[in-house]
Amino acid sequence: MSLAQLLQELDAKTAARIALATRPRVQRAWEVLRSTGRSLADWQDDTPPPALPITDCTAMVMHSPKEWLEPRIRQRFDIMVTPGALEEVEAMRPHYDPSLSSCKAIGVPELMGYVSGLLTLDQAREQASIATRRYAKRQRSWFRSRMKDWVTIQSGAVSQ
């Protein structure tokens, strides 16, 4: 379905709140409407405020140094593969569509490349690790821009 088609089905209230040129946001709003019968704006309007206002608490954000995070990213991939991720990806292979959000999750394209014979497991691990590092970098940037007044807690000091 094209972006224009998705936009046609959105309600005006939701369309006014989201970045209409950003396909993932438009698609998510469309998916919410399609699967629940309610607009994303209605869901947002019905969401109560936080139980504790930010002004009444100490807001904290965790910062993990890259050198601490890198080995854990690689370890995460191996842990994911061990209990059955390869079998799960193999089972979804006939339904795999790289344009679907569910098929874009970190690890899915990489493991699909492996089970399809396009990548070795080491190549899949490396590509998934790169994707995870990029995701972590986007998170750090988001934290810096949205949580600049929060107390930063340095994590990674304790070895595991």
**Which sequence spans correspond to the domains of the chain?**
3-46, 60-154
**pTM for this structure?**
0.72
- Tell me what pLDDT residue 80 has: 87
What class has domain 60-154? Answer: mainly alpha
Q: Tell me the per-residue pLDDT of 124-151, one tens digit each, with 9 for 90 and over.
A: 999 999 999 999 999 999 999 999 999 9
Q: Tell me the per-residue pLDDT of 10-62, one tens digit each, with 9 for 90 and over.
A: 999 999 999 999 998 999 999 999 989 999 999 999 999 889 988 899 999 99
- Tell me what pLDDT residue 103 has: 87
158 is written with which tokens?
């304790």
101 is written with which tokens?
């959000």
What residues contact 110, with CB distance under 8 A and at least 6 apart? 119, 124, 125, 127, 128, 131
Confidence of residue 102 (pLDDT cuts 50, 70, 90): confident
Residue 61: strand pairing partners: 152
Nearest CA among 104, 99, 94, 76 for reference residue 160: 76
Cα separation, 3 vs 1, in Å, equals 7
